[in-house]
Structure 1
Amino acid sequence: MDTIQKPQIRRRWTSILIALTCMLLAFAPASPSLAKTKKSSKMSNYTKVKSAYVMDAKSGQTLYENNQDKKLPIASLSKMMTLYLTTQEIKQHKLKWTDKVAVGQNLIKMSKSYSLGSFKIKRSKQYTVKQLYQAALIASSNSAAIALGEAVTGGNNAKFISMMNQQAKDWHIDATFVSSSGLDNTDLKHYGLQLPKTSGKAQNMVSAKAISIVAQHLTAAFPQITQWSEKATSKIDNQTLVNANALLKSGTYYRASNHLTGLKTGYTENAGLCLTVTYWRHGRKLIATIIGSNTAFTAMNGLITHVDKTVNATDVTEKPQTFKLDGRQIDAQPATGKATVWYRKNQDPKKIKITNTLTASKLPVKKGQQVTMTRYNSTGLPSQTNQGETATKTVTKPVANQGNAGGRNWFSQFFSGIDKMFSHLF
């Protein structure tokens, strides 16, 4: 469910006026007195959330963490995994942005619900993949997200959710998905979308760090996504998509100094307010996530300010390295000659060291394959990253059974010698 809706998700609103009023209430300061103070209306205690995490989008280096590995309901932040898998289908030419998608009657009905729908889908109307993608991203349309999943799998909702969980395993992140939209089974069951063999109250359970990694992969696979996610509004089929992210330009909590470019909001009664954003510092894209907040936008402003005050970045030279694997030499090349490393401001940046551990465990190793895991040491921050050096060339296994081949050659030479001896006798 989108962040713009009021917590009473069971109540059927009777007018658009009430819906808009509730939208304002959902993100307004706690009291009128707070609204009078510019500082307090823009900032709040970033620690008063269930979980928070900030990372470098390229290196994966952690800049801030608070219960970052605790699995929690994440509401519509789940849609980022749906958008990633859709993006991959497009990149692999299995889907096109212009492909028409027929939306099922259950999703049309869901789209007309004031509590679950934010983009009204018309009957007998086919929407393009691009339109559904934008509706899911900008307006957080649940129906559009589910329709995308069905477009990827030929109409099989359960298969798509299986793909979501498998992708999480492939990335080695701890996440459990039961829906492609972020809705839980208490809502999905009314539309025939409850995943078989799951409880009536099951919901997507993902940590702040895990969903930030999903955002990292999504923005790497489709960098242009921020051109859509930073839009406050957009039009599709004569409907205005409203982005609930009030940190965007013209939003109530906008700050130009954030250099923010989206990315995704989320809300359900169980999850609370959830928010993942991308923003720029020192020429680097950062990803920040807050889960389970009562004031997601002010908390995010506070979190960004805290990170600005406590960490800095420096460039550290990283050199190629050589490793041995199964008796063969592996030449590893860093992604860049100078790595941008974040460190706490009370640390000496001159003492920062970069180390690489060989992670490739067997041959062959292909050119361009990541073969190491990089760590940034003496930064005052967690040292692990999710980047590493890559092999400069393909290295294959040693020729198998050389000993046996030599034995066969000796055997042939032996009989060849006997043949020559008898040829002299006769």
Structure 2
Amino acid sequence: MKTRLKVPFIMLLMVLVLFTSVITKPITISAEVDVQAKTAILVDAESGKILFEKDADVALPPASMTKMMTEYLVLEAIKEGKISWDTTTQITDYPYSISADPAFSGVGLKQNKDYTVRELYEAMAINSDNATTIALAELVAGSEGDFVKMMNDKADELGLPDATFVNSTGLSNTDLGENVPKGTEPNADNLMSARSAALLAYRLINDHPDALEVSSMTTTEFEGDRIENLNWMLPEMPGYLSQFGYEGMDGLKTGWTDLAGYCFTGTAERDSQRLISVVMKTDSKEARFEETRKLLDYGFNQFEKKELYPKAYQIEDKKTVPVTKGKEDTVQIASNAPLTTMIEKGTEDQYSVEYKLDQSALNDEGELTAPIKKGQQVGSVTLVNSEKNYGYITADGEQNESVELVTTDKVEKSNWFMLMIGAITGFFADIFTSVVDTVKGWF
């Protein structure tokens, strides 16, 4: 009896061993994040590749995330030498009235006092102060109305889809009373989609890295008082707020209004990998940071930058291109650089490459004409993803997944005698072919 039981047991064991041996790599399960926000997006800050999105093109009032555009224009004016961090300005009646209104919880600006650009910028970026934002807008453009024109022009230049600006702060124009910026409607609101907010953040930190030096400050002094950053996810936030701290977080901008709900554009860097996240219309102050944590954890845990194809890669059956008028009939082609991109871990098999030959470099027969230089570009090599692909935050982002297709050798032009022989041979070959075709037609 024991012998009979032993045989099937051994067979079962062999089947289990065989089954285990055919599993050559672990099974990767894509764990897409469930974000409790009306709209959200997650972007690789280096390439602009979108790693996740949820209704990212829905335009909503962005509240104080609007100030990212004000920051961009102020930093651009500094970069161009129009103003400096030490430039001073005094407060006009309009921003003073906003600062004096307790409904706006301002830092308490005074008139007939000089404030530096640095002081005003820190209050705007760290404490989201509205009055200092307006003061900077007036300094840069002369009036907030003219500054709003600059904001919209810059939005067009940066390619922000669904972005419309009506003031510099993110308040509703209905909150501004008689100070509604010239050229805008009294009941209008700024509008931005999560995609636009992410692209604005992408351009802000790449074009003006100084923005992160300020946005990463947990506190600053203003008029002798300490003001705290509204970004609770910064590491080393004091007291109760420390529970929201996130490793690598150094920006960027919170926002809240009744219409917008609680919003946040965040950015964090870990191991030389920087991500940008946006959540809009969450339920509470805490929720905007909790949902941001979900997004960033998803990005850092699930994605990696990886070289998928090396330099000099060749597609097996497309290693050469025919050549005419040369000493060689063909020339080898290959990629001139490695193909590297941000991918979800374990999805390498979803990627392949394709050649796109430059038709203007070929004759009607699809041949290159000698002479041909080594390293001569004849097209491009492009990554192809067979599964999901959210694309890029920038219009030209797809170029990040393409490199030049070049010749690996030179081909000299054949001498005049060989070209003449080839031409004569071709001439008689054409006559022979015509005669054969005619004869065939008789029968």
CA RMSD of aligned residues (A): 3.2
Q: How far does residue 281 in structure 1 lie from its aligned partner after superposition?
A: 3.8
| Length-normalised TM-score, structure 2 | 0.65
The question of whether the paired residues in 2 share the 8 Å contact of 1:54 and 1:288 is answered with: yes
1:171 and 2:163 correspond: no
Q: How far does residue 382 in structure 1 lie from its aligned partner after superposition?
A: 1.9
The 10-residue stretch of structure 1 (349-358 or 214-223) with the greater mean CA deviation from structure 2: 349-358
Aligned partner of 2:39 in structure 1 is 51
For structure 2, the residue ranges without an aligned partner over 5 or more in a row are 1-32, 313-334, 359-379, 405-443
Aligned partner of 1:71 in structure 2 is 59
1-structure distance, mates of 2:357, 2:305: 23
Aligned partner of 2:390 in structure 1 is 382
Percent of pairs identical after alignment? 29
Q: Which runs of 4+ in 1 moved over 4 A?
A: 253-257, 316-320, 336-340, 352-358, 372-376, 389-392
1-structure distance, mates of 2:172, 2:357: 41
1:262 to 251, 257, 267: 251
Secondary structure at 1:73 match in 2: coil
- Aligned residue runs from structure 1 range 237-256, under 5 A: 237-251=223-237, 252=241, 254=243
Secondary structure at 1:304 match in 2: helix
Structure 1 counterpart of 2:288, one-letter code: A
| Length-normalised TM-score, structure 1 | 0.67
1:102 and 2:90 correspond: yes
2-structure distance, mates of 1:284, 1:214: 19
1-structure distance, mates of 2:207, 2:105: 28
2-structure distance, mates of 1:280, 1:354: 33
1-structure distance, mates of 2:223, 2:355: 53
| Larger RCO, structure (CA 8 Å, separation 6 or more) | 1
Q: CA-to-partner distance for each residue in 1:136-175, whole Å, 9 max, x for gaps?
A: 100101111111111111x221111011111111122220
2-structure distance, mates of 1:168, 1:270: 22
- Aligned residue runs from structure 1 range 5-404, under 5 A: 47-153=35-141, 155-174=142-161, 175-190=163-178, 192-198=179-185, 200-251=186-237, 252=241, 254=243, 258-294=247-283, 295-316=287-308, 340-345=340-345, 347-348=347-348, 351=351, 353=353, 377-378=385-386, 380-384=388-392, 386=394, 387=397, 388=399
1-structure distance, mates of 2:189, 2:381: 33
Larger radius of gyration: 2
Structure 1 counterpart of 2:138, one-letter code: E
1-structure distance, mates of 2:382, 2:129: 38
Q: How far does residue 312 in structure 1 lie from its aligned partner after superposition?
A: 3.2
The question of whether the paired residues in 2 share the 8 Å contact of 1:54 and 1:64 is answered with: yes
For structure 1, the residue ranges without an aligned partner over 5 or more in a row are 1-44, 321-333, 359-371, 393-426
Structure 1 counterpart of 2:343, one-letter code: Y
The question of whether the paired residues in 1 share the 8 Å contact of 2:232 and 2:244 is answered with: no
Aligned partner of 1:324 in structure 2 is none
CA 1:266 to 1:257, structure 2 compared with 1: closer, same or farther past 3 Å?
closer
CA 1:236 to 1:197, structure 2 compared with 1: closer, same or farther past 3 Å?
closer
The question of whether the paired residues in 2 share the 8 Å contact of 1:376 and 1:384 is answered with: no
1-structure distance, mates of 2:342, 2:66: 28
Q: How far does residue 58 in structure 1 lie from its aligned partner after superposition?
A: 1.9
The question of whether the paired residues in 2 share the 8 Å contact of 1:374 and 1:385 is answered with: no
